[in-house]
Chain A
Amino acid sequence: MITRDGLDQIAAEEQARQAEHKQCIRVCTAAGCLSQHSNQVKEALEAAVAEQGREHECHVKGVGCLGLCSHGPLVAVDPDDVLYEHVKPEDATEIVASIGKEPVERIKCPTDVPFFNRQVKIVLENCGIIDPESIEDYIAHDGYQALATALTTMSPAQVIDEVLRSGLRGRGGGGYPTGLKWTTVAKAVSDTKYVICNADEGDPGAFMDRSVLESDPHRVLEGMAIAAYAVGAQKGYVYVRAEYPIAIERLKSAIRAARRAGLLGRNILGTDFDFDVELRLGAGAYVCGEETALMASIEGRRGTPRPRPPYPADYGLWGEPTLINNVETFANIAPIINRGSEWFASIGTENCKGTKVFALAGQITNTGLIEVPMGITLREIVYEIGGGVPNGKEVKAVQTGGPSGGCIPAEYLDMPVDFESLKQLGSMMGSGGMIVMDSSASMVGVAKYFMEFSMSESCGKCIPCRVGTAQMYNLLTKINNGEATYRDLELLKELCDLVRNASLCGLGQSAPQPVLSTLRYFEHEYLDKLIDGPLAMAPAEIEGQEA
């Protein structure tokens, strides 16, 4: 059994071990770079280090996401503070030879650019720094200190109070105050309670949770353990989609390592607190990200949502009070406990504290993972951090919130990014997918794309969502093909109203959102495609005038 002193000892030993090597080559082994064969790069670098006889001073380490996915595979060299992009195995010898000397200019990636220096990292602070497969490395970076602090010096009520005062809001999309959610579960009367981490990230173009799990899995486990202590739960589940094999592998090894180290299981850190975590894999259903469907799926039933109330805090997994938070929410907990709620509350805006991780995708120069303080403007994200649209094109719209969100047109790029502002614009924060579209994007096409997604991911339980999304998809196809009339557009609008207000769960209720937001800002694109729309009618009118 490990105690707090033992934790410090592991940290000291690991730091000493790492200090033996003067140089460290960090190779991104998260899914983005791996898909471009960063594992081969890593092997080549290891071989090059061995060949040049520098094993004693240079250590090659596989790390999590280095952020700039579009420039992968990425390799960072310490202490030279050099980042290399698009690295190929052939570059290994040259890179290793250059350490301590002039960097290889050919593949050097500039790091003094807004993409790197405009970010504020809390959730991602260990990403790309530590080896996700090494619990010692995590502990050497203050890992599990927050859990130790909570267990040994704070009461559960104090932990909740700290989270409440930090102003942290759920990062899964809804933005419900995390501390308040914890209070409701803590106050529920039951001997058995559960903590669930929702890692069923499924929005098209979103990969925040995946990167966190691939890069820093212990951070999530630590957050869950602190939450379990705060609400009085003994058992936790991470519900992660099966499409994330690397995240699953690293989570599994993290859970094993934490159990071995006595950081999960019985009498954690020598206290009487017991908590263990199990993994549950989703079978590819987007709707299982909805909390009641997720719980049904964990219970082994068909993953369909049920009406709320009762809420999970009241009646959750197997009928017991259950706390469900998203990956990113849990990843924020340890820093809040370590550095205090005041520090956390000093970042962000009045109502939205802290940072948000976004997955930048679409027509943007710097595709990748970023973490920015709440309240930053979309313009800063897109033009400064994201580097704008390639080929000199203009931004037409930014899609946030995935299939539940909407398209924000370019004229609102100066709006601050927080839960309320995005909602006011007819979109939503969502879990953090951000897709940038340039002038060539067809907004009807975008709406149709997301409707196809909602239609095929509808569980089929309630009628408005099951049949409504299919009818809306058909209408959007008809409009997009230029075969529709005003009447079809009216039917579409009417269905949006029904599906939004009458569907059972969040998937259905938000499914019309991409249509509604594109109709709000780009209605002319719909009208232009109608058989009896202004564009189709125009030539006839002109002819009429001539006659």
Chain B
Amino acid sequence: MAIRRQTRGVIKTLKIDGRDIGAHEDETILDLCRENGIPLPTLCQLEGLTAPGACRLCLVEVKGWNRLVPACVTYPEEGMEITTNSERLQKYRRQIVELLFSEGNHVCAVCVANGNCELQTLAQELGVDHIRYPNLHIPRVVDMTHDRFVNDQNRCILCTRCVRVCAEVEGAHTWDIQGRGINSHCISDLAKPWGESETCTSCGKCVNVCPTGALVEKGRPAGDVRKRQDFLHYLTKMREARR
């Protein structure tokens, strides 16, 4: 659930990576990093959708706090001193990406999303060139029952962007998560095949927000999977304007 703060126009000043930054109190630390060109990796967060704070990639250090905090759901406080890029944080980020690779079938060479995958890009940026953890080989299904789209759960990283875009933007809530822990997986409706879903409008929003090759359009040649995410920004702006 989105827990947005009320804007009261209060400005806070803080330091991110040594830079002085002025911020509205309803902007997240992640917003501020993006605004100021400070790179911070994310996977579950997507502008226009609520942030679950689940992928833990945007964890940052705050001086004097004993816990790391996810930048996507943390709001500025006066005098905060934030570090986004310490060695420790980088190590955790590489470990998280490694864990994701060990969880599913993320063999880029045989993936339709090769070259258009946020997980792949992230691994490259973070310098993850091999995976030290053995693959968990979790049995997951490939659902090709939909006319236009494919859901390959082996490539799913459970970022829940599809769940949120479908519930929050399209209003259909076709997707959700079933099972717990390592057995969590995406389901459509009440675990029906996607093609038999009564709620799916085939709008394709989930496919476009999916960061990997888990949700893709059928019939696309490998390497030609393009994810178009700017619609989200556009839709959100239009709805705000109409209100």
Contact = CB atoms under 8 A, between A and B. Distances in A.
B190 interface: no
Given A491-B133, A501-B92, A463 B99 contact: yes
B96 A306 contact: no
A469 B53 contact: no
B54 A463 contact: yes
B55 interface: yes
Interface stretch (B145-153, B181-189, B203-211): B181-189
B53 A460 contact: no
B99 A306 contact: no
A471 interface: yes
B25 interface: no
Contact of A315 (B3, B52, B59, B136): B3
B181 A457 contact: yes
B180 A494 contact: no
B181 A491 contact: no
A466 B1 contact: no
Interface string A299-311: 0001000110010
Given A302-B177, A504-B56, A460 B182 contact: yes
B176 interface: yes
A285 B56 contact: no
Contact of A463 (B55, B133, B134, B179): B55
B181 A458 contact: yes
Contacts of A457: 180-181
Contacts of A491: 132-133
B184 A460 contact: yes
B154 to A, nearest CB: 14
Nearest to B70: A307
B182 A310 contact: no
B102 A467 contact: yes
B181 A456 contact: yes
A462 B54 contact: yes
Given A460-B179, A460-B184, A463-B99, A471 B133 contact: yes
B52 A461 contact: yes
Contacts of A464: 56, 92, 95-96, 99
Contacts of A306: 1, 3, 52-53
Interface string B191-221: 0000000000000000000000000000000
A25 to B, nearest CB: 46
Contacts of A319: 1, 3
A467 B70 contact: no
B81 interface: no
Interface size class on chain B is: 20 to 34
B92 A470 contact: no
A458 B96 contact: no
A310 B2 CA distance: 11
Given A494-B95, A502-B96, A467 B56 contact: no
B92 A467 contact: no
SS class of chain A's interface: helix, strand, loop or mixed? helix
Nearest to A314: B3
A97 interface: no
Contact of B183 (A285, A287, A460, A498): A460
B108 interface: no
A120 interface: no
Contacts of A467: 99-100, 102-103, 136, 182
B16 interface: no
Contacts of B134: 471, 474
Contacts of B69: 307
Interface in B114-170: 132-134, 136, 157-158
A455 B53 contact: no
B73 A307 contact: yes
Contacts of B53: 306-307, 462, 504
A503 interface: yes
Contact of B181 (A307, A466, A498): A466
A463 B56 contact: yes
A503 B132 CA distance: 20
A302 B73 CA distance: 20
A77 interface: no
B68 interface: yes
Given A306-B53, A458-B182, A463-B55, A501 B99 contact: no
A502 B180 contact: no
A401 interface: no
Interface string B43-67: 0000000001111100100000001
A466 B158 contact: yes
A457 B56 CA distance: 19
A444 B25 CA distance: 48
B182 A502 contact: no
Given A467-B99, A470-B136, A502-B96, 4 more contacts: A467-B102, A471-B99, A498-B95, A503-B56
Interface of B: 1, 3, 52-56, 59, 67-70, 73, 92, 95-96, 99-100, 102-103, 132-134, 136, 157-158, 176-177, 179-184
6 contacts: A307-B53, A307-B69, A315-B3, A461-B184, A464-B92, A466-B103
